[in-house]
Amino acid sequence: MSRSHPRALRVAMVHLSDWKLDSRIQRLARALAERGDEVHLVCIGEPTVEQCGPGRIVVHPVMADKPQGGYGAYLAGYSAFLLKATRKLAALGRRERLDMVEAHNMPDLLTAAAIVPKLRGTPVVLNVHDTFPELFATKFGRAPRDPLVRLVELPARVVEREHERAQRLRG
């Protein structure tokens, strides 16, 4: 890219869905690719490379399907996805530095998948689609103060504290 156009970015987006079924993620990925950026989607689905204007979208599926069943199945499935997504993001950042990682909730904990790029200085953004703790409590008939709901709230509290700390450091 020329001086009037900054260099193309390498952006990774992590989300526990099939990007072909999520219009919000499609729009974001295509908008970035159309301006010339390289977008890596760590998600559910089939491996795909899509040229989109001067950029491209590369799909890195780490699971075939979303978890189904009771809360135990959801927690186990989310944990498996998180581990696989963490490995994939680390590998992507090892080949060539990522400029940004955007985690799309649910669950909020997906930001943890970007721990390796974050330690290398890559900014991590949480794009909140739904309030996961409230949805979890409603879906599984749990009270707001239930220990499982509190556990699900933990990542959001950590992200909030990090944000507050960053704001204080900025002055």
Q: What is the CATH number of the domain that holds 71?
A: 3.40.50.2000
* 92: β partners: none
Task: Give domain status of residue 165, yes or no.
Answer: no
Residue 47 has a pLDDT of 95
Predicted structure pTM score:
0.77
| Whole-angstrom distance, CA of residue 136 vs CA of residue 29 | 27
Residue 90 has a pLDDT of 97
CA dihedral 147, 167, 14, 139 (to 10 degrees): 30
Residue 166 has a pLDDT of 61
CA distances from 61 to 30, 33, 84 (A): 18, 19, 9
Task: Give domain status of residue 117, yes or no.
Answer: yes
- Residue-number span of the structural domain to which 64 is assigned: 10-129
Q: Give 69: exposed, middle or buried? Use CB within 10 Å, 0-12, 13-18, 19+.
A: exposed
Task: Give domain status of residue 171, yes or no.
Answer: no
| Contacts with 50 (C-beta within 8 Å, 6 or more apart), sequence order | 33, 56, 57, 59
Task: Give domain status of residue 158, yes or no.
Answer: no
pLDDT mean values, one per 10 residues, the chain (171 residues): 71 93 92 97 95 96 86 84 96 93 80 92 82 71 82 72 65 57
Q: How many CB atoms are located within 10 Å of the residue 18 CB? A: 19
Q: Per the structure, how many domains does the chain have?
A: 1
Task: Give domain status of residue 167, yes or no.
Answer: no
Residue 2 has a pLDDT of 47
Place of tokens 């504290």: 161
